[in-house]
Structure 1
Amino acid sequence: MEAKSGYVHRRMPLIAAGIILGLGLNGFFDGILLHQILQWHHMLSSTRPLTTTSNIDLNMVWDGLFHAFDWILTVVGIVLLWRAGGRDDVPWSSKTFVGSLLIGAGLFNLVEGTIDHQILGIHHVKPGPNQLAWDVGFLILGALLVVLGWLMLQTKVRNQE
């Protein structure tokens, strides 16, 4: 057990970098795909529909703030990854890194989907018919990404014992 916990502890800088990067990158993916390309929703589209120029402007500002937050997360993740890469005691593993990215991406869906879609109701994945199904699917995808990432981390730990 000592070898396992020591190995897990040494991987934490790489895991933290992957999770933060996963959060930021999935935020960008969400903003670019759902907000801009598909235009399914914007940050405040349920509370401020895109029916007036002032609402369009307000949603654009909030989408920009959302992207700025994603950018900050991504920069922090890169700094953490850089620091982890410079340490001799951190085992470098693609499986650990990808698993951590998946956990971060899944956490993004779970946190953003729960807060923005369910609690605040400021927007939904795809408003209109079946919007609850789209919102639940977003949460299920997030949970699956977290579980898949966690399984990848566990597999690596077993291989190192």
Structure 2
Amino acid sequence: MQDGQDKFPTSAGVILGLGLGAFFDGIAFHQLLQWHHMLSGWYPLNSIENIRLNTTWDGIFHSAAYVLVLAGLYLLWQRAHRSELGWSRWHCLGTILIGWGIFNLLEGVVDHQILGLHQVNETVPDAQRIYWDIGFLLWGAAMIVMGAAMVRAGVREGVHAQGNLQAR
């Protein structure tokens, strides 16, 4: 490798994963399943005003997710326009998974537990909600662990690929 210019941009993958994790959360939990909305823990969906407020904040949340995805793609593009890159698909996918897992942990700890903005599944009885929140945190932690393993495999794969390129 020459001065690290062909090394995979880990931060780009993590930022892209943060954005994709946020999009998944918003699309799956807010829109399709309708388990919660951005501020439904503070403003329950029991009036038109609260529904409008939650919809606005869901839109702000999706806008932030969009900015993260664009930033991650921009950082990838900055490196990808070079012709001979020895990037590993495992390194790329692993960093995205790490970013998504970080999103879940931040969302789960800050939004769900500390701020009480909402819980993962507000359609179940109150006593069961904590189990959904714990599951969400475990899912995030598992993604980070799996992503880290993929990154390690990708680094090894990249070293082998780089050796093959140098042997040519």
Q: Same fold (TM over 0.5)?
A: yes
Separation in structure 1 between the aligned mates of residue 6 and residue 36 of structure 2, nearest angstrom: 41
Deviations for 1:70-109, whole angstroms, at most 9, x for unmatched residues? 0000100110110121246753211110001100110110
Q: Equivalents in 2 of 1:47, 1:41: separation in Å? A: 11
Q: Which structure has the greater CA radius of gyration?
A: 2
Answering whether residue 68 of structure 2 is matched by residue 70 of structure 1, we say no
The 2-side partners of 1:18 and 1:55 are apart by: 36
Taking structure 2 as the reference length, the TM-score comes to: 0.85
Residue 142 (structure 1) aligned with residue 137 (structure 2):
no
TM-score, normalised on structure 1?
Answer: 0.89
Amino acid at match of 2:14: I
Q: Which runs of 5+ in 2 are unaligned?
A: 161-168
2:97 corresponds to: 102
Displacement over 6 Å in runs of 4+: none
- The answer to whether 1:59 aligns with 2:54 is yes
Aligned position for 2:163: none
The percentage of aligned residue pairs carrying the same residue is 48
Q: Distance in 1 between matches of 2:150 and 2:24?
A: 22
Q: Whole-Å Cα distance in 1 between the matches of residues 36 and 73 of structure 2?
A: 29
Q: Deviations for 1:110-133, whole angstroms, at most 9, x for unmatched residues?
A: 011110001001100002431100
